[in-house]
């Protein structure tokens, strides 16, 4: 009798645990998506953001950098850019942030990260002035929201929510049609929220034995090899045709995440916010 009820209880506990596990997986999948991260040997670490943006964008890049640096696990610093903003060529071990009139190709902002295994080797952010120069998007709310989100993707963060029309979560990683919250009197989505910082702590809880991060002096040969390989292919990511296959679609039916397979375990993921 005792044995039976004991076993019964065990089964119940195991079942409950599996349910909790399943819910945890679903919750994680909505945000961290693949646990891709920069390889580094120390925490907190510093990621350099190359400034290839126009005057109008500088305050928004500075705010995004300051906001994300509130994280206990990472710091970002804005440094001189190393590419022309039109090409927005990626630099190993850091992120290049670019603004330009990229044309009427549909996208407001994109972030691309190069992956070797599970490690990010470089990243780019592009904001499209073809749309940001129009009255619809030329607002502090839209500029702050898109810059914050695209920079967030370069750490390996995913969107918290991909519905433009539900209530703001108070995070720039949440799609919104009312980024500063003034139209519907709701939370502002111009900055990260606690859930974003918690997610970063989860993704970066471990340390790596080598580094893909340029600022990590203790990076070893393995990290350098991953960087060298990641430098082989240059892509013109201004064009959606170069982004590869759609791997996720947002609530409104439009694509939100692309994967371009470069072979040898290397991929480029591109996150997109479409303009209306
Ligand atoms: Zn790692
Ligand atoms: Zn995004």
Average pLDDT of span 254-258 = 93
| Ligand 1 mean position, distance from CA 212 (Å) | 10
**What's the CA gap between 148 and 159, in Å, rounded?**
12
201-228 pLDDT, tens digit each:
999 999 998 889 877 766 666 666 666 6
Query: How remote is the CA of residue 2 from the centroid of ligand 1, in Å?
Result: 46
User: Which bound ligand lies closest to the C-alpha atom of 111?
Assistant: 2
In eight-state DSSP terms, residue 206 is: S
Distance 155 CA to ligand 1 centre (A): 12
CA of 203 to the centre of ligand 1 (A): 9
Residue 110's Cβ-count burial label (10 Å; 0-12, 13-18, 19+) is buried
In the structure, ligand 1 is a single-atom ion and the residues with CB under 5 Å from it are: 208
pLDDT tens for 131-174 read 999 999 999 999 999 999 999 999 999 999 999 999 999 999 99
The CA distance from 218 to 40, in Å, is: 8
Residue 163 CA to ligand 2 center (angstroms) comes to: 12
Which residue has better confidence, 35 or 26?
Answer: 35
pLDDT in tens, 56-84: 999 999 999 999 999 999 999 999 999 99
């Amino acid at each position: 009798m005792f044995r039976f009820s004991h076993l019964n209880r065990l089964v119940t506990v195991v079942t409950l645990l599996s349910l909790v596990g399943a819910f945890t997986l679903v919750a994680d999948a909505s945000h961290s998506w693949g646990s891709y991260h920069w390889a580094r040997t120390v925490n907190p670490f510093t990621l350099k953001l190359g400034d290839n943006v126009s005057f109008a964008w500088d305050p928004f890049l500075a705010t995004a950098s300051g906001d994300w640096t509130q994280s206990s696990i990472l710091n970002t610093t804005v440094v001189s850019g190393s590419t022309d903003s039109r090409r927005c060529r990626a630099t190993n071990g850091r992120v290049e942030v670019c603004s330009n009139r990229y044309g009427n190709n549909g996208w407001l902002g994109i972030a691309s990260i190069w992956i070797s295994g599970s490690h990010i080797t470089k990243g780019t952010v592009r904001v499209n002035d073809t749309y940001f120069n129009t009255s619809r998007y030329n607002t502090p709310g839209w500029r702050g929201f898109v810059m914050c989100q695209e920079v967030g993707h370069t750490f390996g963060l995913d969107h918290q929510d991909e519905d433009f029309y539900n209530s703001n979560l108070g995070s720039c990683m949440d799609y919104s049609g009312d980024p500063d919250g003034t139209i519907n009197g709701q939370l502002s989505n111009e900055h990260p929220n606690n859930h974003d910082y918690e997610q970063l702590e989860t993704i970066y809880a471990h340390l790596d034995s080598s580094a893909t991060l340029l600022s990590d002096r203790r990076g070893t040969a393995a990290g350098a090899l991953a960087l060298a390989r990641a430098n082989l292919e240059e892509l013109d990511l201004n064009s959606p045709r170069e982004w590869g296959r759609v791997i996720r679609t947002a609530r409104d039916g439009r694509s939100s995440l692309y994967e371009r397979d470069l072979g040898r375990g290397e991929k480029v993921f591109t996150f997109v916010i479409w303009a209306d």
